[in-house]
């Protein structure tokens, strides 16, 4: 099988660390990077496969939601008390994974 050369650019410190890790693993830099990239691709493929059904479900839900009106229709929601509105907003924030400061847990602010 013919080999193909790929050039990459990186900071000197990154290059030094890669060389050190490759040496400790008993590999040359090319073999080390190919091994690391192949491992990362296999992990990504496995994750995508595991969540394919969920991703498809989300896509169908988003497609269905795109046909809904942007503004809620007037009705019973207009009859909620201020306390009930706050409780609904808190429940929606919880469902969407946001805290009171509109941050999602585990995500940088």
Residue range 21-54, pLDDT digits in tens: 999 999 999 999 999 999 999 999 999 999 999 9
Question: Could you give the CA distance from residue 91 to residue 85 in angstroms, rounded to a whole number?
Answer: 10
pLDDT tens track for 46-57 = 999 999 999 999
pTM greater than the 0.75 cutoff: no
What is the CB neighbour count within 10 angstroms for residue 60? Answer: 10
Which residue is associated with the tokens 């969540």?
Answer: 51
């Amino acid at each position: 099988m013919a080999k193909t050369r790929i050039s990459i650019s990186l900071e000197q410190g990154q290059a030094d660390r890669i060389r050190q890790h490759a040496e400790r693993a008993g590999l040359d830099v090319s073999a080390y990077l190919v091994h690391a990239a192949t491992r990362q691709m296999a992990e990504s493929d496995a994750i995508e496969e595991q969540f394919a059904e969920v991703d498809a479900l989300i896509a169908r839900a988003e497609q269905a939601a795109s046909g809904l009106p942007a503004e809620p229709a007037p009705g019973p929601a207009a009859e909620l008390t201020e306390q009930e509105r706050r409780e609904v907003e808190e429940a929606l924030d919880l469902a969407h994974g946001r805290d009171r400061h509109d941050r999602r847990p585990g995500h940088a602010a």
